[in-house]
Amino acid sequence: MTAEKGLQRADAKPRHKPRLGRLRLASSRPPAPAVFDEMCGAAGAPPRAVYAEIRQWLRDTPLDILEARRAQAELMFRRTGITFNLYDGVGDGERLIPFDLIPRVLERREWNVVERGVTQRVQALNAFLADVYGPREILRAGLIPEDLVLGNPQYEPRMAGRPPPKGVHIHIAGIDLVRTGPEAFLVLEDNTRTPSGVSYMLQNREMMLRLFPELAAKARVAAVETYPALLLQTLRSVAPEGRESDPCVVVLTPGVANAAYFEHGFLADQMGVELVEGSDLFVRDDVVYMRTTEEPRRVDVIYRRVSDVFLDPLAFRPDSLLGAPGLFGAYLRGGVTLANAPGTGVADDKAVYSYMPQIIRFYTGREPILDNVRTWRCREPAHLAHVLANLETLVVKEVDGSGGYGMLIGPHAAAAEIAEFRRKLIAAPERFIAQPTLSLSTCPVVQGGRIESRHVDLRPFVLTGAGGLTAVPGALTRVALAAGSLVVNSSQGGGTKDTWVIGD
Amino acid sequence: MLSRTAANLYWTGRYMERADFLARLVDATTGLAGLACTYGGELADAWASALAASSGQASYRKLHGELSQPAVVHFLTLDPANPSSLRNCIGRARDNARTVRAAVSLEVWEALNDAWHAVERFGAAGLPSARVSDLTQTARHAVMAFDGSAQRTMMRSDAYWFLQLGAALERGDNTARLLDQKYHLLLPGEEPVGGALDYFQWSAVLRTVSGLPTYHLVYCDEVKPWLVADLLIFNPQMPRSLTACYRDALMFLGQLGEGAVESAPAARLAAATMEGLTRSDIGEVFGSGLHEFLSDFIVDNNRLGSAVAEQFLFPEIPEWSLR
C-alpha cells in the first residue's frame, strides 16, 4: 500500500477539494473562511513553505504508521510517568495529556516577532510590579485606576517598599498567544504566577526526536533543550545578597497530588536540584534550611510552584500545610529568594491585562509589538452594558481565573449557562472581563485514523534573571481536541504538540 | 539528601521486598496446601501459617473470619483492604518513589511504574486459582526488574543505600517470621523429618526463600529442620539468612555514616545484633529456644528500624540552628 493510498483510504468520500497540492489531507475539513490554518495558510493562499518537510512526511507516511507511532508515544509517556493529575472521581487521577504527532511550525521570522513581543511584555510587567510595589508612578500618572491595583485581591501590601533581589518579580512567565492571521499574533493572557507546561515543550521535543529523528533533522529545528540550564542560571542569578557565590536552589512543590507534579520533579531533575515540599523546610532567624539525613542545609533560592496563599501559614492561610512557617518573613528580610516573587498575581489579573498597551508604552516608551485582544472590563458600567447585551457572541472570564475554568464561551453555550453568567455578572461585575470570540488558528492533528484540523494556541516562556531576559526558540502548543472547540486547557481535555522554529 | 527523600526510598525498598516475600509465600503455600490434601494434613493449617508469617492474622480475621484458601490468597495478594497485600505493597513502593521521582534513576522508576501497572491489570477482586501463579510470577519478575535496574543504573550514593537498607531490614524480618511459624514442628536434635508432610513443610519454607538447591549444596543431606534453621539464621552465603541481612545492613549503614560517624546509633544497634549472631550457633539457639531467639530478633530488628528513622528519616532540628 502506498502512502498516497493510505491517506486516500481514510477519505472515501471527499467532501472538499484537497487544499494541499497533490496531498490529500484526508479529512481536513477546510476551516471556516476566516480561520488561519498553520499548515495551509489563509483561505485561498498557497500552502505555507515552512511546512514543506512536514507535508512531504505526511504524504510519505501511511496513517496507520502514524497511529502506531502515536500509540507508542502514549505508552512511553505512561511508562515514564509523564502524567498530570486530575481528580474527578474517575480512575487514579493520573492522566496523560494527549500528544499529537504533527508539529506546529513557526518560521524564524515569525518567532522573532513573538520573541521580541513577549520579552517586551515581560519587561513591562516586571517594571509595572516594581512600580506598584514602589513609587507608584503609573497610578499618579492616572493611566490605570488605583483601586484596580491597590484594591486587587492579588495585590500583596506587605511587598510594598521591599524590592526583591536584583529587582526581579517575575522570573518565569508564560504568555498565551493566539493567532488569527498570517501576521496576527495576539496576547490572550499573561501568566505571571506559577505558569506550567514547559516540561511538555521539552518532552514533546524529545518524543518527536525519538519517533521521527530524520524529520526533525531535515527540518533543522531550533533547539529548546537548553531551557533547564537557562532556568537554573536565572534562579542562581537572583540569590540574596551575600549568597551569590554558590547559591543552593530548590523547587518547592505542593506535592504529588498537584496537577503539575510531574513537571516540578522533571525540572528539579533536569536542573540537578532538590525537589522539596513545605515540610522539608524550616526557618530559623530568617534563614531557610532543608532537613537532610546529615545536617540542615541552607536554601537560597526557591523556585516555588506553590501559590502565594499557601506559602507560609504564619503570613497567609493559617491552615496551609504546603508551605513553611516563617518563609515569607525570611523572604521580606532578604534571607531567601522566592521565584516568582509574592504578589505577582496583580500583573496577570485580566482587568489589569486590558491596560497592557498603556503599561508597555509607559515603561518602555515604545509601541507594543504584540496586540492585546479587545477586552471589556465589566467593572465599568458602559462595558458591562455592552457585555450583557452581547453574551451570545462573547467569551467571559474571571479576572483571576485560569485553567479554562469558570469561563463562558457565548457562541458555544446553552441558554441556561448564559443566563447563569448574566446573574453572576450583575452580582459581581468587577470579577469579570469579556472578549470577542476569536477564530484561533488551526493545525492538522492525527485523530481516529484521520487527519483533522483543530484550534491551537501558543505559550512561549520568558525567563528574567539579573542579566536580562531570555526565551528559548520554542513554546508549548496546546490543541483543543474536540472538533470546533476553542478550549485548549489540559484540564479540559486539551492536548499538546511539539512546536518548531525553523529557518535562519 | 533530604530526609523525606531518604524515608521514601527506604520504604520503597521495604515494600518491594515485602511484595516479593508475599509472592513467594503464596507460591510455596499453594504447593504445600496441595500436598497437604494428598498426604492427609489440614489444608487450613498451611494457610493459617502463611497468614501468620505475613503478620496478617488479626486483620484477616476482622475482614473474613473463616479461613479458606481463596480468601487468604486474595487477602495476601490483591485485597485493597489489607494494607500489606501484594498489590498495596507495590502501589506504595511506587507512590513513595513517585514523590521523590528525581532521586531514583529513570530505569528504577520505570520498573516501579511497570510493576504497578502490571499488578493493577489483575484487578482488585479475587482471582481464579489458575491465575494466581500468573500474578505471583508477574510480581516476582517485577521485583527482579526493580532490583536489577537499581543495581545496574543507580549511583552508589545515599539514595541507593537507603533503598538497599530498607530491603535488608525487611528481608531479615520476613525470614525470621517465616521460620518462627514452623518452630513448633522442629524436632529435637538432628533427627530427620518425620512424615512426608513434615518434609514438605520444610521444603516449602526453603522454597519460599529460594533455598532448596542451596540447602542441598551446603549440607549434602536430607532436609532436617535443624539444618534448615541453621541455613536461614547463620549461613552468610544464603542471601536471606539473618546473618547475611545484617552483614548487608551494616555495610549500607557504614556507607551512609561517612562524615557523621560519632553519632551513629543505628549502626551501633546493628553491630550489636550482628555480634550476637556471630557468637552464637544453632546448638545454642535450640538450647535456649528457637521461638524466643526469633522473637528477640524481630524486636531488635524493629528497634533498628526506629533508630534508622530517628537518625536519618525524621531528624530533630539540631540545637545549633536554634541559636
Kindly tell me if the per-residue pLDDT of B144 is higher than 60.
yes
Averaged pLDDT, B73-88: 95
Picking from A366-375, A398-407, B2-11, B123-132, which range would have the lowest pLDDT averaged per residue? A398-407
Per-residue confidence at B221, pLDDT binned at 50, 70, 90?
confident
Q: Give the pLDDT of residue A28.
A: 43
Q: To which H or E segment does residue A270 belong?
A: helix A261-271
Q: Give the pLDDT of residue A9.
A: 34
| CB-CB neighbors (< 8 A) of B1 in chain A | 292-294
Kindly tell me if the per-residue pLDDT of B189 is higher than 60.
no
B272 touches chain A (CB under 8 A): no
B117 touches chain A (CB under 8 A): yes
From the CA of B195, how many Å to the nearest CA of chain A? Answer: 50
| CB-CB neighbors (< 8 A) of B106 in chain A | 80
β-pair partners for A292: B2
Please identify, in words, the CATH class of the domain defined by A374-436: alpha beta
| Cell triple for B96 | 513513595
Q: Give the pLDDT of residue B237.
A: 93
Q: Which residues in chain A (253-282) have CB-CB distances under 8 A to chain B?
A: 255-256, 262, 265, 268-269, 274-277, 279-280, 282
Q: Rounded to whole angstroms, how far apart are CA atoms A112 and A108?
A: 6
Cβ of B287: how many Cβ atoms within 10 Å? 11
From the CA of A338, how many Å to the nearest CA of chain B? Answer: 20
Q: Which residue carries 530498607 as its cell? A: B166
Q: Which residues in chain B (73-102) have CB-CB distances under 8 A to chain A?
A: 95, 98-102
Per-residue pLDDT tens over the stretch A130-176:
999 999 999 999 999 999 999 999 999 999 999 999 999 999 999 99
Q: Which residues of B5-20 are buried (b: 16+ CB within 10 A; e: fewer)?
A: bbbbbbbbbbbbbbbb
From the CA of B79, how many Å to the nearest CA of chain A? Answer: 17
Per-residue confidence at B102, pLDDT binned at 50, 70, 90?
confident
| CB-CB neighbors (< 8 A) of A296 in chain B | 317-318, 321
Q: Rounded to whole angstroms, how far apart are CA atoms B304 and B286?
A: 25
Neighbouring residues of B304: CB distance < 8 A, sequence distance ≥ 6: B169, B249, B266, B269, B270, B273
Q: Are strands A99-107 and A495-502 parallel, antiparallel or unpaired?
A: parallel
Three-class SS state of B51: helix
Give the chain B residue nearest A81 (alpha carbons): B113
Per-residue confidence at B185, pLDDT binned at 50, 70, 90?
low
Q: Rounded to whole angstroms, how far apart are CA atoms B6 and A168?
A: 34
Q: Which residues of A29-62 are buried (b: 16+ CB within 10 A; e: fewer)?
A: ebbeeebbbbbbbbeeeebbebbebbbebbbebb
Question: How confident is the prediction for chain A on average, in pLDDT?
Answer: 88
CB pairs under 8 A between A and B: 70
Kindly tell me if the per-residue pLDDT of B187 is higher than 70.
no
Give the chain B residue nearest A290 (alpha carbons): B2
Where do the domains of chain B lie? 1-154, 156-315
Q: Rounded to whole angstroms, how far apart are CA atoms A281 and A250?
A: 10
Higher pLDDT, A140 or B217: A140
B123 touches chain A (CB under 8 A): no
From the CA of B51, how many Å to the nearest CA of chain A? Answer: 29
| CB-CB neighbors (< 8 A) of B321 in chain A | 282, 284, 289, 296
A91 touches chain B (CB under 8 A): no
Picking from A157-166, B188-197, B234-243, which range would have the lowest pLDDT averaged per residue? B188-197
| DSSP state for residue B312 in the 8-state scheme | I
* Percent over 90 (pLDDT), chain B: 57
| Cell triple for B124 | 482488585
| CB-CB neighbors (< 8 A) of B318 in chain A | 295-296
Q: Rounded to whole angstroms, how far apart are CA atoms A92 and A80?
A: 16
Where do the domains of chain A lie? 374-436
For residues B126 and B85, the answer to whether their CB atoms sit within 8 Å is no
Q: Rounded to whole angstroms, how far apart are CA atoms A384 and A396?
A: 11
Neighbouring residues of A194: CB distance < 8 A, sequence distance ≥ 6: A172, A304, A305, A306, A307, A340
Q: Rounded to whole angstroms, how far apart are CA atoms B122 and A217?
A: 42
| CB-CB neighbors (< 8 A) of B124 in chain A | none
Positions in chain A short of pLDDT 70: 1-33, 84-93
| CB-CB neighbors (< 8 A) of B110 in chain A | 79-80
Per-residue pLDDT tens over the stretch B16-67:
999 999 999 999 888 888 776 666 666 778 888 889 888 888 899 998 888 8
Subunit contact B1:A292, Cβ cutoff 8 A: yes
Cβ of B198: how many Cβ atoms within 10 Å? 19
Cβ of A124: how many Cβ atoms within 10 Å? 23
From the CA of B102, how many Å to the nearest CA of chain A? Answer: 5
β-pair partners for A37: A41, A442
Q: Give the pLDDT of residue B193.
A: 52
As to burial, measured by CB atoms within 10 angstroms (0-12 exposed, 13-18 middle, 19+ buried), residue A63 is buried
The size of chain B, in residues, is 323
Q: Give the pLDDT of residue B8.
A: 94
From the CA of B74, how many Å to the nearest CA of chain A? Answer: 21
A428 touches chain B (CB under 8 A): no
What pTM was computed for the model?
0.83
Phi-psi region of A463 (alpha: psi -120 to 50; beta: other; left: phi over 0): beta
Three-class SS state of A45: coil
Q: Give the pLDDT of residue A421.
A: 94
Subunit contact B323:A285, Cβ cutoff 8 A: yes
Query: Residue A339's closest CA among A441, A465, A244?
Result: A465
Query: Residue B206's closest CA among B194, B195, B218?
Result: B218
Per-residue confidence at B258, pLDDT binned at 50, 70, 90?
low
For residues A73 and A495, the answer to whether their CB atoms sit within 8 Å is no
Cis amide leading into A340 (omega within 30): yes
Per-residue pLDDT tens over the stretch A253-303:
999 888 888 899 999 989 999 999 999 999 999 999 999 988 899 999 999
Cβ of B193: how many Cβ atoms within 10 Å? 21
| CB-CB neighbors (< 8 A) of A256 in chain B | 95, 98-99
Q: Rounded to whole angstroms, how far apart are CA atoms A319 and A312?
A: 9
| CB-CB neighbors (< 8 A) of B6 in chain A | 293
The size of chain A, in residues, is 504
Per-residue confidence at B263, pLDDT binned at 50, 70, 90?
low
Averaged pLDDT, B105-131: 93
